[in-house]
Amino acid sequence: MRRKFVWLAVFAAFALIASACGGDDEVDVSDFRVAIVAPSASNDLAFTQSIVDAVAAMGISPAVTDGTFVVEDAAAAIRGYAAEGYDLVIAHGSQYGGSLEEIAQEFPEVAFAWGTAADTFGLDNVYAYEAASDEGGYVMGVMAAELSQTGNIGVVGPIEVGDAKLYVDGFLAGARSGGANATPSYTGSFSDVALASETAQAFASQDVDVLSGTAQMVVGAVGVANDEGILWFGTQANQTELAPDIVVASQVYHWEVVLEDIIAKVQDGQLGGETYKITLDNGGLVIEYNDAFDLPSDVKDKADEAIEGIKDGSISTS
Amino acid sequence: MSLEDVRRRRILAYSVPILAVVGALIIGTIMLIALGADPMKGISRLFSGAFGSGNALTETALKATPLLFVGVGITIAFRANVINIGGEGQIVAGGLLSTIVALNAPDMGPFVMIPLVLLAGLLGGAIWGAIPGALKAYFGVNEILSTIMLNVVAVQLMNYLLRGPLIDPLEIERGTRIPQTQRLVESADLPRLFGSGRFHIGPLIAVLAAVVAYIVLWRTPLGYRIRAVGQNKDAARYAGIPVKRTIVLALTMSGALCGLAGAVLVFGSESHRMVTDGSTAGFTGNAGFNGIVAALFGGLHPLWTVPASFLFGGLLVGGLSLQRAVQVPSALILALNGLVVIFVVSSERFRKRLLEQPPEVIEDGDGSKSVEVTEDSGPPGRDGPPEDHIPGDDS
Amino acid sequence: MSELFTQSAIIAVVAGGIRLAVPLLIASLGETYGQRSGVLNLGVDGIMLLGAFGGYYAVLKTGSPWIGLMVGVAVGIIMGLVSALMAVTLKAVQGISGIGVFLFGLGMSDLLFQKWVGTPRPITKFPKLDVPGLSDIPWLGEMLFQHSVVIYVAFAAIPFSMWVINKTTFGMNIRAVGENPEAADSLGVSVPRIRWATVTIGGTLAGVAGAILAIDLGIFQQNITNAQGFIAIALVYFGAWRPLGIMLGSLLYGLINALVLQMKVLEIIPPDWSDIAAMTPAVITILALVVVASRFQPPSALTKPFTRGA
């Protein structure tokens, strides 16, 4: 028995010595250190990619912990970055909010940003940001209705929550305002590419000729759209590359628009307490068209009309 | 072979899993180098992140807690020769039931609420374990199939409840629709120990569960029945033991412990609410699978699962720290997790070999030799993991 | 509901069900070989993921789906050999060793994808083959005979496996080793060798299943299998270790999934119920087995490592 403890002690000693030999942390540093914690992969062409691209677009090389769908692990990462003295820790996941509320109180000198959300918990070191994805959804829905020859439109969604629901509802509203028959279908998962693909097939069998969808699994649906000659509208990132023949446009999230303001404020000393929304109006949401797609000018005009209507408030997207 | 040799072989046996981990880390180091990361910094952060400070130790203990619960449950199930890979679903079921209870019961103060929600977790997991148990015992439906299917059902149930009936009313008000409950009643928060740190009583409850499991398995008639059924189903039946019921019980108990892990995850969490990202692993952290591995590390013995879970938890926590320090993709840590399991599982044979006792050759006084087979480990738990019973070795 | 019983809907459901069933079918068939000889391999999902990435990457670089398929085979063979090493020679506890392979496959496929590919790009899929003559049959033609080439090959594997397992010496040895390894051993059959073979076959088919999944979807994503490997393992039990049963099980699972999706598209299932609906394949599989099961016994030596003289 005693020998066992000797071995455990040896192991523990080794561990302590090894940890003492750690050395300082030196990640890629600009003079403003940003860390991002996000739930899916940085190259998912969707949610996570949008924030990583945004920070990179500002010339900052962030420390990134991606693929953190386990909420407890994400909390550990957020706390870890805060403890290492990052200037801004971006918690890019709606499910991280509850943990962030506690962590932010422990680190009052660190600025946190939480997305997609609208709650800063009344704390003065938390910013919240969200996307009015229903706006771009509406505009593209309008275009979809114009472009559709059969009048049948489909939307492939993951689970009816958060940002996904917002986008789907906006797109449906836009399509229906144009007189189309638009239907949503939620697969029940954010990552099941096969189900997304089959949903698209099911839509195809019902004479749908324009599709849209959100979440990283839609890459499967885009593939089917490409095969069947169905037009596609994307969101969160520019999806033209996936199928240059049939992607009409994508609503791209340009978080830089709000990040610039947040970072400026943090550098000025205000660590939080405000909520932000990227919209068509402030340029955070941009409809990026596929140049290779021959979009009739009257459809583009309708889209611009819708954009103006949303900006001046005359159109409601719900 | 002298007593010294026996001792030496024993020590070698216990170091085998550690050597296996080292082996996996060596491959991990190679992968770090291939990714252009500093391996020395990475590996040292692995250890310091796991054991290098009070905070690190707390995080390790907290990470180890669900592993321990699941692992102890697994040891019970394995003793009855049942494989329980439904841990993920059972953890979710326990979390859900405890959350539902907390949302609907009147606030009766911490001394009532905490045991109440923990019991609810126990019950939720027990149900999710009893279903496959009953299906196996009474309908012959293999438990591997039913537990896998029930994992699927559990995640969809969780998604439905957390975005529907159980959703935080504030979410609907704000329109953000995050699939989470409201902040659960404060009286149900697991109490923190050691001042304002993060350490809560969860790990202690887990250790208690391990002790209880040990007592049940080796000091109660029920435990005897479970082990008997696991050793030899037919002999047990012949001896009058109700085999079907025992199997159901073993799976139910295993599920209950997983459910308890779920409740601890909810009420010990920082957010004090249940939230989903659409997958089971988002809530459980893969504890349903890693707990099985922790049980193996502990030689399928409840008490030894305690240090095994702690060490494995440390590896996982350290891995997260490594990722942050050298900025490799998180996927590497997951692959490393898998490698450690592969190496340790593969090394089991050597560990068992070393624990085997060859017959001793004794020289009698008159010069002749005789062979005496010495009894090896005493009653299980005294000198270490019982060497023999790995499910499947015998029927 | 009447919209569901239109020609287009029914054809779509059956065709879609077949497509969804194929990866499950192949992986499950592979696992059957191993289990029939007494070895449980829980790492199928991890091998599928590695095969999926390997296949995807190969097609991305070469443009040929067939090379992608071959890479899937190669990855499957390698991982199958690793699994065999663990389960047969090192006698690792079955049911746990596979979990390591699963976690490793999940992480490694994602890691390689992030480092070698970056942003997902679409790839060429397998060519479709309209079976001459048969594909013109009304209804059945579209459902069954206008699929991608690999689907036909996958279904051909069923009768082939039935023949191998039931009519060849190899198959007889597999069954003997699975039922009574001691007896088989005493008759001169090398138990470890048979098990090495079957586990490797299992790994190979899992790799192929993954490659087919990725190539037929035309893309790769992190966790693209979404735990289908585990469903495949479950289906082995459903199919009572017989290729025909495996086929029926995979088709049942795939068809119900396709049916649910079609009902969502037709708005028969409202979005509020989409999670409950997503449970149905799992629930129905359990119920179906309750009805059908206990007629068949598992191989007696399943999950028991074999030691001569033990």
Could you say which DSSP state residue C299 is in?
P
Q: What pLDDT band is residue B379 in, cutting at 50, 70 and 90?
A: very low
Q: Does the distance separating the beta carbons of B307 and A66 come in below 8 Å?
A: no
- Same domain, yes or no: A127 and A158: no
Interface check C300 vs B, CB under 8 A? yes
* Predicted pLDDT at B384: 26
Asked if the model's pLDDT at residue A26 lies above 50, the reply is: no
- CATH number at A217 reads 3.40.50.2300
Q: What residues of B are in contact with residue A4 (Cβ under 8 Å)?
A: 11, 14, 384
* Predicted pLDDT at B174: 81
> Helices C243-265 & C228-238, crossing angle to 10 degrees?
130
Asked if the model's pLDDT at residue A255 lies above 60, the reply is: yes
Q: Is residue A225 part of a domain?
A: yes
Burial B113-150 (b: 16+ CB within 10 A, else e): bbebbbbbbbbbbbbbbbbbbbbbbeebbbbbbbbbbb
Interface check B258 vs A, CB under 8 A? no
* Predicted pLDDT at B380: 32
Burial (CB count <10 Å: 0-12, 13-18, 19+), residue C129: middle
Q: Could you give the CA distance from residue B241 to residue B235 in angstroms, rounded to a whole number?
A: 9
SS3 content of chain B, % helix, strand, coil (to 5): 70, 5, 25
Q: Does the distance separating the beta carbons of C100 and B341 come in below 8 Å?
A: yes
* Predicted pLDDT at C23: 96
* Predicted pLDDT at B101: 94
* Predicted pLDDT at B256: 97
* Predicted pLDDT at A27: 31
Q: Does the distance separating the beta carbons of B277 and A77 come in below 8 Å?
A: no
Q: Does the distance separating the beta carbons of A162 and B52 come in below 8 Å?
A: no
**C306: nearest CA in chain B?**
B393
Interface check A7 vs B, CB under 8 A? yes
Q: Is residue B381 part of a domain?
A: no
Q: Is residue C306 part of a domain?
A: no
CB C232 within 8 A of CB C28: yes
Q: Is residue A205 part of a domain?
A: yes
- Same domain, yes or no: A239 and A300: yes
Q: Is residue A69 part of a domain?
A: yes
**C20: nearest CA in chain A?**
A194
Q: Which of B293, B391, B395 sits opposite C99 (nearest CB)?
A: B293
Give the mean pLDDT of chain A: 88
How does pLDDT run across B348-376, given as a tens digit for each residue?
878 777 777 565 555 555 555 444 433 33
Q: Which residues pair with A252 in a beta bridge?
A: A236, A286
**B71: nearest CA in chain C?**
C96
Burial (CB count <10 Å: 0-12, 13-18, 19+), residue B180: buried
Q: Is residue A18 part of a domain?
A: no
Q: Could you tell me which residue, C8 or C111, shows the higher pLDDT?
A: C111
* Predicted pLDDT at C1: 66
CB A296 within 8 A of CB A128: no
Phi/psi zone of residue B260: left (φ > 0), alpha (ψ -120 to 50 degrees), beta? alpha
Q: Provide the domain limits for residue B88.
A: 3-372
Give the mean pLDDT of chain B: 85
Q: Which of B285, B324, B325 sits opposite A72 (nearest CB)?
A: B285
Interface check C138 vs A, CB under 8 A? no
- Same domain, yes or no: A92 and A148: no
Q: What pLDDT band is residue A8 in, cutting at 50, 70 and 90?
A: low
The percentage of chain C sitting over the pLDDT mark of 70, rounded to a whole number, equals: 96
* Predicted pLDDT at B389: 31
- Same domain, yes or no: A170 and A304: yes
Total count of domains within chain B: 1
Interface check A122 vs B, CB under 8 A? no
CB B231 within 8 A of CB B394: yes
Q: Could you give the CA distance from residue A318 to residue A166 in angstroms, rounded to a whole number?
A: 9
Q: Which of B72-76, C137-141, C281-285 has the lowest mean pLDDT?
A: C137-141
- Same domain, yes or no: A31 and A119: yes
CB A73 within 8 A of CB B320: yes
Q: Is residue A22 part of a domain?
A: no
CB A50 within 8 A of CB A116: no
Interface check A213 vs C, CB under 8 A? no
Gap from B292 CA to chain C (nearest CA, Å): 7
- Same domain, yes or no: A44 and A121: yes
Cβ count within 10 A of residue C5: 8
Q: Could you give the CA distance from residue A204 to residue A185 in angstroms, rounded to a whole number?
A: 13
Q: Is residue A13 part of a domain?
A: no
How does pLDDT run across C92-124, given as a tens digit for each residue?
877 788 999 999 999 999 999 999 998 888 998
Mutant choice from A64, A68, A71 vs B, greatest count of B C-beta within 10 A: A71
Tokens 């550098």 appear where?
A: A267
Mean pLDDT of B82-101: 94
Q: What pLDDT band is residue A7 in, cutting at 50, 70 and 90?
A: low
Interface check B174 vs A, CB under 8 A? yes
Asked if the model's pLDDT at residue A62 lies above 60, the reply is: yes
**Cα torsion for C51, C52, C56, C59, to the nearest 10°?**
50
Q: Does the distance separating the beta carbons of C42 and B393 come in below 8 Å?
A: no
Q: Is residue B68 part of a domain?
A: yes
> Helices C65-84 & C191-217, crossing angle to 10 degrees?
150
Q: What pLDDT band is residue B378 in, cutting at 50, 70 and 90?
A: very low
Asked if the model's pLDDT at residue A24 lies above 80, the reply is: no
* Predicted pLDDT at A2: 54
Interface check A181 vs C, CB under 8 A? no
- Same domain, yes or no: A228 and A87: no
Interface check C266 vs A, CB under 8 A? yes
Mean pLDDT of A290-308: 92
Q: Does the distance separating the beta carbons of C90 and B392 come in below 8 Å?
A: no
Give the dihedral sign, CA C236/C285/C97/B41. Answer: positive
Q: For every residue of B264-278, which 3-state class applies, written as one string?
A: HHHHCCCCCCCECCC
Q: Is residue A165 part of a domain?
A: yes
Gap from C148 CA to chain A (nearest CA, Å): 12
- Same domain, yes or no: A117 and A151: no
Q: What residues of A are in contact with residue C261 (Cβ under 8 Å)?
A: 185, 187, 195, 198-199, 202
Q: Is residue C303 part of a domain?
A: no
* Predicted pLDDT at B278: 84
Q: Is residue A12 part of a domain?
A: no
Q: Which two tokens mark A297? A: 């000018």
Q: Provide the domain limits for residue C256.
A: 2-292
Q: Is residue C304 part of a domain?
A: no
How does pLDDT run across B180-217, given as a tens digit for each residue?
988 888 888 888 887 667 889 999 999 999 999 999 99
Gap from A271 CA to chain C (nearest CA, Å): 33
What ipTM was reported for this prediction?
A: 0.90
- Same domain, yes or no: A194 and A306: yes
Neighbours of chain A (3+ CB pairs under 8 A): B, C
* Predicted pLDDT at A25: 34
Q: What pLDDT band is residue B126 in, cutting at 50, 70 and 90?
A: very high
CB B318 within 8 A of CB B328: no
Q: Is residue C40 part of a domain?
A: yes
Q: Is residue B388 part of a domain?
A: no
Q: Is residue C188 part of a domain?
A: yes
Q: Which of A41-45, C257-261, C283-287 has the lowest mean pLDDT?
A: A41-45
Mean pLDDT of C281-302: 80
Asked if the model's pLDDT at residue B11 lies above 60, the reply is: yes
CB B326 within 8 A of CB B43: no
Neighbours of chain B (3+ CB pairs under 8 A): A, C
Q: Is residue B384 part of a domain?
A: no
The CA-CA-CA angle for residues C73, C75, C78, to 5°, reads 110
- CATH number at B141 reads 1.10.3470
Q: What pLDDT band is residue C139 in, cutting at 50, 70 and 90?
A: confident
How does pLDDT run across B286-305, given as a tens digit for each residue?
899 999 989 988 888 999 99
Q: Provide the domain limits for residue A65.
A: 27-131+255-278
* Predicted pLDDT at A23: 38
Q: Which of B15, B49, B321 sits opposite A7 (nearest CB)?
A: B15
Q: Is residue C305 part of a domain?
A: no
How does pLDDT run across C48-93, given as a tens digit for each residue?
999 999 999 999 999 999 999 999 999 999 999 999 999 988 888 7
Total count of domains within chain C: 1
Radius of gyration of chain C (CA): 20
Total count of domains within chain A: 2
Q: Could you give the CA distance from residue B109 to residue B144 in angstroms, rounded to a whole number?
A: 41
Q: Does the distance separating the beta carbons of C221 and A219 come in below 8 Å?
A: yes
- CATH number at C271 reads 1.10.3470
